[in-house]
Chain A
Amino acid sequence: MVEVEELRPHADHMSTIEDSDSVASIVARITLFNAGFEEHKQHFHHTQLHGTVGRDFDCIENTLDELKHKFTQLKTQLKALGSESRNGTLDVAKYRAKDDLASTRYHDPWALKLEEYKRYGRQLIMPEVGMPGQLRLKASSVLIVGAGGLGCPAAAYLAGAGVGKIGIMDGDIVEVSNLHRQVMHNSAWVGKSKAVSLGNALRLINPLPRYEIHPYHLVPENSAIAAGYSMILDCTDRPSSRYLISDMAVVHGIPLVSASALRTEGQIMVLNDPPVSSDSEKAGPCYRCIFPRPPPPESVQSCGEGGILGPVVGVMGVLQALEAVKVIMRPPDRPANPPSLIMFSAYGSQMFRTMRIRGKNPTCSACSSDTTITRQSLESGSQDYMAFCGALEASDVLAAKDRVSVMDFASMINRSGTPVNHTLVDVREKPQFELCNMLGSVHVPFSLLRRWKNAEEATTALSIDIESHEPIYVVCRLGNDSQATVNKLRELGIDRNGARKIMDIKGGWEAWRKDIDQSWPEY
């Protein structure tokens, strides 16, 4: 007869396996235990024991099953670690963490690598993050479209926070005029890929995440890339890509953080959160729910045209990272925030304002049940986003006879650069005029002259005699506003039905700099 107590010490000992135990010692102990157990079991059957002893036996059998399961898990882990070790990234002997993201057993000790405890320590100790939040970050994958003023700070914070996989998509190259705001690029990288440049900078911040670099522009045909990610950040700079990215987020069922900035203002929204696919009752709006129709192209300004203050776009990129991290770390039982738009205005009386915005539009062309936009239609390229958003009409609004080339204009000024027998009107806005201008030119900003109502306003501002035959030449930065100005002056009758020549300088100061005077500043 066997005493049941004899078995217990073995079982107790086995059930207190520590992660610190070497796999080899666990293997040895399980084998030993197994052998002894089988021996006792046979003996028990032989002596036909019943009652409490039998129940104890069941209990021990369960423990054994658990241990066998644990053993298999550890073996798998060891195998994975072995392959990492061969890449020279980890020392298996010292590695004790249980790094199984598939399980939610984040209360186990060493659920992260020791390096991760240290690296993320300052956020790990916060109740908003903790082990659950950090593991959610590590399990997440974020696609950042646009490696510019928004993408740079957003990516830096997400990399630093320990997002598991970060994708960077941008087909542009770094330009020196980017560097005042696109803070992850540097002067040595001018002329090279922005996506590669940002990827390199992120690896220096944190080598642990996986980085996927996509050094090309997003188009519908390559939008399948979103399938590998659990969230998208829209860090682009035009309406067509904003609609495309929103549609991508909808068809792939992932949340989107969309931000934008211009001059001194910024806007940010969390969209498709939770995504339509999860529970359409609770699903958040998509970009098309809020803006069903695109803005007229003439109302859209780029940072190159309107200007941008570096920290303004930086604030918005940082907020994108913050909103992304909040969505990623949100426990599954916690509801998403109600849809809102955060507006930032650097010079406003209130710098930040949060506005409640409409929810999901039940008849939305992208995310409602009767949508025609599917993953297939998107990737086939049948949605034309450029056509949807429209483009400005070609800028040649004047006939060739009403325009003068920079070459011809150069021959009309004397060596000192002052105008001879003509009036040169510079219609750039004041800050640009103050950057560089030609001696003797008359400055009238386009925004002002556009509102002139009669000839007198024009002749006063330009200090010209309405009866004079002196030709008027109009110049601006690129040669668009100058053409509109010529038309405006004619409308007001300054040309006296063709008696006085009013012409624009083709291509503006930019053409002047390229073809005539290389000492003219490029800005």
Chain B
Amino acid sequence: MQLTLEFGGGLELLCDSVKVHNVNVDLQNRAEKLTMKDLLCWVRTNVIKERPEMFMKGDSVRPGVLVLVNDCDWELSGQLDTTLEEKDVVVFISTLHGG
């Protein structure tokens, strides 16, 4: 499945400072759909290069990271259960605190 992943707010530093990743995610074990839960595992293994604890906590993102699927908060689409579709854009963004 073709997806665009974007990292911002400093999370890009965990993946070679690359902000936009066009990726192809294969469905595991002949699964029919890809959920955000599956994608997080995949990202942790295939995209995050260092300090995974700065990205995830347990099976979800760490506190202070917003996840947006097609410009919409994943809280509104079912969080980990959100089903992804071809060409979806998933944004991971760390909250900033400077001022």
**Contact indicator A237/B71 (Cβ below 8 Å):** no
Flag whether B76 is at the interface (Cβ < 8 A).
Answer: yes
The number of chain B residues touching the other chain, given as a range, is 20 to 34
Flag whether A126 is at the interface (Cβ < 8 A).
Answer: no
Total A-B contacts with CB atoms under 8 angstroms apart:
112
Bound: A291/B49 CA distance, A: 26
**Contact indicator A357/B98 (Cβ below 8 Å):** no
Chain A, Cβ-Cβ closest to B51: A450
Chain B, Cβ-Cβ closest to A316: B99
Flag whether A397 is at the interface (Cβ < 8 A).
Answer: no
Q: Which of B27-35, B39-47, B88-96 touches A? A: B88-96
Bound: A368/B96 CA distance, A: 25
| Interface flags, A237-269, vs B, CB<8A=1, else 0 | 111001000000000000000011111011100
Residues of A within 8 A of B10 (CB): 262-263, 299, 301, 306
**Contact indicator B66/A357 (Cβ below 8 Å):** yes
**Contact indicator B73/A355 (Cβ below 8 Å):** yes
Bound: A294/B75 CA distance, A: 17
Residues of A within 8 A of B73 (CB): 355-358
**Contact indicator B99/A146 (Cβ below 8 Å):** yes
Flag whether B54 is at the interface (Cβ < 8 A).
Answer: yes
Bound: A259/B93 CA distance, A: 15
Return the contact of B72 from the options A235, A291, A345, A356 (Cβ within 8 A): A356
Flag whether A302 is at the interface (Cβ < 8 A).
Answer: yes
Q: Separation in Å of the B52 CB from the closest CB of chain A?
A: 12
Flag whether B37 is at the interface (Cβ < 8 A).
Answer: no
| Interface flags, A283-320, vs B, CB<8A=1, else 0 | 00000001111111011111100101000010010000
Chain B 45-98 residues near chain A, CB threshold 8 A? 49-51, 53-54, 62-66, 68, 71-73, 75-76, 91, 93-98
Return the contact of A261 from the options B51, B68, B75, B96 (Cβ within 8 A): B96
Chain A 73-112 residues near chain B, CB threshold 8 A? none
Chain A, Cβ-Cβ closest to B68: A355
**Contact indicator B98/A301 (Cβ below 8 Å):** yes
Residues of B within 8 A of A151 (CB): 99
Flag whether A348 is at the interface (Cβ < 8 A).
Answer: yes
Return the contact of B95 from the options A236, A295, A313, A355 (Cβ within 8 A): A295
Q: Separation in Å of the A289 CB from the closest CB of chain B?
A: 10
**Contact indicator A260/B76 (Cβ below 8 Å):** no
Residues of B within 8 A of A354 (CB): 71
Flag whether A220 is at the interface (Cβ < 8 A).
Answer: no
Q: Separation in Å of the A214 CB from the closest CB of chain B?
A: 17
| Interface flags, A343-355, vs B, CB<8A=1, else 0 | 1010011000111
Chain A 352-372 residues near chain B, CB threshold 8 A? 353-358
**Contact indicator A299/B98 (Cβ below 8 Å):** no
Q: Separation in Å of the A413 CB from the closest CB of chain B?
A: 33
Chain A, Cβ-Cβ closest to B75: A358
Return the contact of A356 from the options B19, B63, B71, B95 (Cβ within 8 A): B71
Residues of B within 8 A of A356 (CB): 71-73, 76
Q: Separation in Å of the A271 CB from the closest CB of chain B?
A: 13
- B8, B19, B64, B97 — which one has the most chain A CB atoms within 10 A of its CB? B97
Flag whether B13 is at the interface (Cβ < 8 A).
Answer: yes
Flag whether A150 is at the interface (Cβ < 8 A).
Answer: yes
Contact A262 B64, CB 8 Å, known A349-B20, A356-B72: no
**Contact indicator B8/A260 (Cβ below 8 Å):** no
Residues of B within 8 A of A238 (CB): 97
In the A-B complex, list the 3 residue pairs whose CB atoms are closest, starting with the nearest: A295-B64, A293-B63, A358-B75
Query: 17 interchain pairs (CB within 8 A)?
Result: A148-B99, A235-B99, A239-B64, A242-B97, A260-B95, A261-B96, A261-B98, A261-B99, A299-B64, A302-B97, A348-B19, A356-B72, A356-B76, A357-B76, A450-B50, A451-B49, A451-B50
